[in-house]
Amino acid sequence: MASNEIRILEERIRHLEQQLKLQQVQFGKLAQSVFDNSELRNLKDMNEFKSFGRWQSWTPTLTGWDETPVVIARYSAVGKICFWSTYISGKSNATTASITLPFTSVDVANEAWGGANNYAVDGGTALSVASRWTISANSNTVNFYTNMASGAWIASGTKSINASGWFEIA
């Protein structure tokens, strides 16, 4: 190799080393700001940190189904917000439908969380109107209804609910 080519390669190496140092400084500042975040500082251990914001399964207690429904229940906690998603399908045994959540909602006067279900089946028939879910303040239960008011379920046949939502954790 000619000395000019070696000199160019050495300059390129120095330039790359400078860029790497700059990236390390920027990463260090980012990492420090993340660890300065009080939510992260309060995590008890590295396993808790690894699950921060990760979707996980939970086993809810069900009301309104017999003992053998299909249940998929997942949540992700980010700070004081719990995002949840569930699918439950089985034989109905009550005119109500509810499940327990992985956390209790914050106690705020006159507050409730709610939204429309993604899909619902009542007495074996898919609902053709919007149905809803609601979580009261200071509660770990989500209640489901067959319409946007307080519609009751049929206590026989297939009852299925697919819903997703969020709430503020106490």
3-state secondary structure 92-154: ECCCCCEEECCCCECCCCCCEEEEECCEEEECCEECCCCCEEEEECCCCEEEEECCCCCCCCC
Q: Work out the average pLDDT over 114-137.
A: 96
> 94 and 122 in contact (C-beta within 8 Å)?
no
Q: Work out the average pLDDT over 10-25.
A: 72
pLDDT single digits (tens) 30-74 = 666 665 555 555 555 545 555 567 899 999 999 999 978 999 999
List beta partners, residue 162: 87, 119
Could you give the percent of the chain with pLDDT greater than 90? 63
Q: To the nearest whole number, what is the mean pLDDT of the chain?
A: 86
Q: How far apart are CA 161 and CA 134, in angstroms?
A: 13
Q: Name the pTM for this structure.
A: 0.71
Q: How far apart are CA 144 and CA 119, in angstroms?
A: 11
Query: pLDDT grade, residue 5 (50/70/90)?
Result: confident
pLDDT at 87 over 90: yes
Domain boundaries 56-168, CATH class = mainly beta
